[in-house]
Amino acid sequence: MSPQINFVMGAVTGFRRWCGLQPEVLAFAPGRVEILGNHTDYNEGLVMSAALDRGMRLVAARRTDRRVRLASSILGEAPEFSVRDEIVFDERTPWTNYIKGVLAELKKAQIPLRGADVWIDGDIPVGGGMSSSAALEVSTARLFLALADKELSAWEIAHLCRRAENEFVGVQCGILDQFSSVFGQAGHLLWLDCRSLEHGACPAGTGIELVVANSMMNHQLSDGGYNALRESCQRAVAHFQSMITDHPVTALRDVSVEEWDRFKAGLREEDQQRSQHVVEEIRRVDLGRKALMDGDIEGLGRLMFQSHASSRDLFGNSCRELDLLVEIASECEGVLGAKLSGGGFGGCIVVLARSDAAGRTAETLRERFLAQTGTRPEVNRCRIGEGAAVETDLGREN
């Protein structure tokens, strides 16, 4: 089996115990951490991320009645539904909407959906800033494409999953999470221009590890905070469109740091702060990519600390727990950088550390955060992993 499909037998065993059948297909999609580029993707800017060796695994067997039955070791069970009928939003079991949204998009793409019994397993926190939603979407797409014996390109899958989250779930996310889950490369940091979709991967170098610390403050981006930040950015775009006349402005990507400083007057305070973060963050990603290409991993780490300070002080999507984790990490020997990862409002931080310091850093984060908050954080050392994959040879006895 492909090396990026982790803990395969655990997922297969869970499926068998649940429904007593032999599974046919397993799909894996990784979570991701954001290295730089917080909330720059929907502003058509630059982002830098890493796929992880952790994610969501979906195991399934075909059904003949075109009904879908879902159960999960981490999410619970859900009502059955038919892919023959219109796929409708489920207010009582919200996690199923990430799956249903993908299936609705596959139907629009004329993919002949099959019914299936689907078992969902995973080793990334749900609502923890590691893009569990995108991992669930991408693994769903890969699974049901395999069940239908159909294929779509990597970019088609990424865009389809983003549309599912935007239009069905109702979260106006950008493309970063789905891109990272689809295009991940082991040992490489990914970069993406969210306007042109030009992208690449830079070797992360040797002797470097990621430590991901979950604050245990779960966030739900669909609760409105994410969309409110996006609306603030859109108001700022409208302001700069009226002020900058020598070139088009269709997104904050089009506003330079110098132009922001020159034309910021007239913005309401919160829109000024939010847009400052985005404009400066886009520049940080560009500087981070150059640092990585030059082998300046320390420079990349400094930019990560700057990014978190900007999220905290300007963008308003950090929280006390995330700030504390970053503060603790910054005081650990061998740590190069740390920042919140993802939408914010809770969830995880990502720490860039030297390998010989990663274990000590993880333990220090656990001990000091528990001592100061009374909450035990989930802290993991992670490898930079491969993108989504599917296995279709599970029908044989193991």
Q: Which residues pair with 335 in a beta bridge?
A: 353
Quickly state the pLDDT bin for 48 (edges 50, 70, 90). very high
168-177, 199-208, 315-324, 373-382, range with the lowest pLDDT: 168-177
With b for 16 or more beta-carbon neighbours within 10 A and e for fewer, the 192-218 pattern comes to bbbeeeeeebbebeeebbbbbbbbbbe
Q: Which residues, including other chains, have CB under 8 Å from residue 149's CB and lie 6 or more apart?
A: none
Q: Is the confidence at residue 310, as pLDDT, over 90?
A: yes
**pLDDT one-digit tens code per residue, 347-370:** 899 999 999 999 999 999 999 999
Backbone φ, ψ for residue 16 (5° rounding)? -60, -40
177 in catalytic set: yes
Task: Assign 73 to helix, strand or coil.
Answer: coil
Task: Give the pair of three-digit tokens for residue 278.
Answer: 């985005």
Domains 8-201+387-391 and 208-382 share a fold: no
* Alpha-helix residue ranges (DSSP H) falling in the chain: 8-19, 96-108, 132-147, 154-163, 176-183, 225-243, 257-263, 269-293, 297-310, 320-330, 355-373
Residue 83 to residue 105: CA distance in whole angstroms: 12
Task: Give the pair of three-digit tokens for residue 113.
Answer: 């959906």
Q: What is the pLDDT of residue 220?
A: 58
Token pair 């294929």 is at which residue? 151
Residue 37 to residue 342: CA distance in whole angstroms: 9
With b for 16 or more beta-carbon neighbours within 10 A and e for fewer, the 331-355 pattern comes to ebebbbbbbbbbbbbbbbbbbbbbe
With b for 16 or more beta-carbon neighbours within 10 A and e for fewer, the 104-133 pattern comes to bbbbeeebebbbbbbbbbbbbbbbbbbbbb
Quickly state the pLDDT bin for 398 (edges 50, 70, 90). very low
Structure-model confidence comparison of residues 282 and 396, the more confident one: 282
Contact 398, 15 (CB under 8 A): no
Catalytic residue among 117, 177, 254, 271: 177
**Mean pLDDT of the residues in the chain:** 93
Structure-model confidence comparison of residues 223 and 296, the more confident one: 296
Q: Which residues, including other chains, have CB under 8 Å from residue 242's CB and lie 6 or more apart?
A: none
Q: Which residues, including other chains, have CB under 8 Å from residue 331's CB and lie 6 or more apart?
A: none
Q: Is the confidence at residue 63, as pLDDT, over 90?
A: yes
Residue 233 to residue 252: CA distance in whole angstroms: 7
Q: What is the pLDDT of residue 80?
A: 96
Residue 33 to residue 154: CA distance in whole angstroms: 19
Q: What is the pLDDT of residue 205?
A: 86
Per-domain residue ranges for the chain? 8-201+387-391, 208-382
Q: What is the mean pLDDT of residues 171-179?
A: 88
Q: In Å, how far are 319, 323, 333, 380, 383 from 360, measured between CA atoms?
A: 24, 19, 9, 12, 16
Task: Give the pair of three-digit tokens for residue 186.
Answer: 């082991």
Q: Give me the percent of the chain exceeding a pLDDT of 90.
A: 84
Which CATH architecture fits 208-382?
Answer: 2-Layer Sandwich (3.30)
Q: How many residues does the chain have?
A: 398
Q: What is the mean pLDDT of residues 165-187?
A: 93
Q: Give me the percent of the chain exceeding a pLDDT of 70.
A: 96
pTM of the model: 0.88
DSSP state of 331: T
Residue 144 to residue 249: CA distance in whole angstroms: 40
Quickly state the pLDDT bin for 396 (edges 50, 70, 90). low
Rounded CA Rg of the chain: 21
Answer yes or no: CATH 3.30.230.10 is held by domain 8-201+387-391.
yes
Q: What is the mean pLDDT of residues 65-86?
A: 94
Quickly state the pLDDT bin for 10 (edges 50, 70, 90). confident
